[in-house]
Structure 1
Amino acid sequence: MTARSVVEQATQALRRAILTGALAPGAEYSLRELAGMLDISFIPIREALRSLESEGLVIMRPGRSAVIAPLGLDDLQGIYRLRRALEPEIAARSCLLLSEAELDRLAERAAEFGAVGHDMAEIYDDHHAFHLALVAPAATTWDIQVLTTLWRAGERYIRIGFGRLDPGPAEHQRRGEAHGELVAAFRTRDPATASAAVERHLARNEKIALAALS
C-alpha cells in the first residue's frame, strides 16, 4: 500500500471508532496506543489525527497524545445552528433541480431506512448519502465540505439519541416515514415546502439528541 492509502485507512478506522464510541469521548490516547491498535507506525497515525482534528473529532496534545473530543450540549446546538443556516436554503434550490428518476431512487432508499433489521450503525453511511443526494444539485464544493464536516461532528450525538429509540419497532417505521416525507416535500417543487421539511427534520433530530445527552 502507498503511504497515502495507509493514512486514509487509519483516518477511516479512527473516525469510525470515534463515531461509534469505541474510542470514548474525553479519553486521552497516546500515539503509541493508537498505532498499536491499528498495527501501524506513528507517522500515519499522526497525520490521521491531524485530519480528524480538522473535523472536530479529536484534540491534539503537545507531545504524543490526543483527546477524543468530548460531547456537550453547546457543541450539539452549535452543529445544528449551522446546519439550519445551510441545509434548508440549499434544499429550496435543489428541489427545483432534482430529476424525477432521482427522487424515485431516494424514495426507495427512504423506505429501506424503515426496515426493522437495520439499526443506525448499519444505515448511517446510506443515510449520509441520502441527505447529500437531496441537496447535491444545488450545493457547491464548499457547501458539501462544510456539511460533511457538520454531519460527521453530529453523528456521535445522533447515534446516541437514536440508539436509545432503536429497540422500539415503531421507531423503524417512523424513520422510513420521516425520510419519505422529505422526498415528498421535494417532489412538490416548491422551495418553501422543501425548506420547511428539512427544518422540521433537523429540529426533531436535535431534540432527540439533546434528550439523550440530558
Structure 2
Amino acid sequence: MASPAEVRPIESRTVGDLVTTELRRSILTGALPPGQSFSLRELASRLDVSFIPVREALRNLESEGLVVIRPGRSVTIAPIDFDDLHAIYRLRRLLEPDLARRSCTRISDAELTRLERDAADFGDPDRSMDAIYDAHRDFHLALFGSAATAWDVRVLTTLWRAAERYIRIGFGLLDPDPEEHHRRRHAHESLLSVYRRRDPDAAARAVDEHLDHNEKMAGAALGTAAAGLQARETAG
C-alpha cells in the first residue's frame, strides 16, 4: 500500500485543465477575439461547465498574458498591439540565439536529418494552420532541445504562446500565396544548414535573423488587420 506522503500519479486531466486548453485554443485561433469582454457566466455556459473551472482556467491564462481579469465576474481577451509584440521578441532574442549557440554543437546528425524531413513538410500547401503552428513549435523545441533546461523550456513555452496569436495572423494572411510555403520551407532548411556547420556564432545569427523576419511579418500583418478594421468601422 502506498504511503499517504507519496506523490500519486495523475490518472486523468481535470476539468480545469480541459477548460484552460479549450479557452487557450479559442483565444489563439481568434474564436474569442482580442479586446472582447465576456462574463464568467457566458464562458461557463459556452463550455457547459461550472464557474469554478472557468475561474481556474482564467487565472492560468492571465499568467500567460492572454486575458485580463476584471473586478467582478468578467474577463477581457488581451488586446493585440505592437508594444506587446516587440516586448515578446525582445525577450526571445535574449534566449533563443544563446540556445542556438550552445545546441548547434550538441545536436546529433541523426536529429538534424529528422528535422530536415520536418522542414520539408513546411512546404505542404495542404497543411492546416493548426498543424503548421504545432509543427513549427515542435521543430524549434527540438532544435534547442540539446541545450535547453527545463526552465528554458518553461520560459520559451510562455513566450511562444504569447507570440502565437501574432504569428497566426501573419501566417493566415500570407498562406494563400504559394510562394509563402516555399519560403517557410527554405527558412527552416537554412537554419539546419547553418547548424550542420557547427559554428556557434553563425547559428546564433541565423536564429536572430529568423526571429527578426517573423517579428516583421507579424507587425505587417497587424498593420494590415488594423487598417481593415478601421475601414470597416468607417464604412459602418
Which bin holds the TM-score, normalised by the shorter protein?
over 0.9
Match of 2:115 in 1: 106
Return the offset for 1:137.
1.1
Larger radius of gyration: 2
Match of 1:93 in 2: 102
Structure 2 residue 219 is matched with structure 1 residue 210? yes
Specify the SS of the correspondent of 2:25: helix
Question: C-alpha deviations, 1:73-102, integer Å up to 9, x for none?
Answer: 000000000001110011100011111111
> Which runs of 5 or more residues in structure 1 are unaligned?
none
Q: Aligned partners of 1:160 and 1:93: how far apart in 2?
A: 31
Q: TM-score, normalised by structure 1?
A: 0.96
Q: Aligned partners of 1:192 and 1:110: how far apart in 2?
A: 22
Q: Percent identity?
A: 62
Aligned to 1:153, which of 134, 159, 162? 162
Specify the SS of the correspondent of 2:14: helix
Question: C-alpha deviations, 1:128-178, integer Å up to 9, x for none?
Answer: 111111111111111111111010001000111121110000101111111
Return the offset for 1:65.
1.2
Match of 2:82 in 1: 73
Kept in 2, the 8 Å contact 1:97–1:137? The answer is yes
Q: Aligned partners of 2:180 and 2:19: how far apart in 1?
A: 34
Q: Aligned partners of 2:89 and 2:172: how far apart in 1?
A: 19
For these two proteins, the number of residue pairs brought into alignment is 214
Aligned to 1:53, which of 34, 47, 62? 62
Which is richer in helix? Answer: 1
Q: Aligned partners of 2:42 and 2:194: how far apart in 1?
A: 48
Aligned to 1:33, which of 38, 42, 46? 42
CA RMSD in angstroms, aligned pairs only: 1.4
Return the offset for 1:4.
5.0
Match of 2:200 in 1: 191
Aligned to 1:62, which of 45, 64, 71? 71
More deviation, 117-126/30-39: 117-126
More deviation, 147-156/135-144: 135-144
Return the offset for 1:119.
3.9
Specify the SS of the correspondent of 1:138: coil
- Give the aligned residue type for 1:172: H
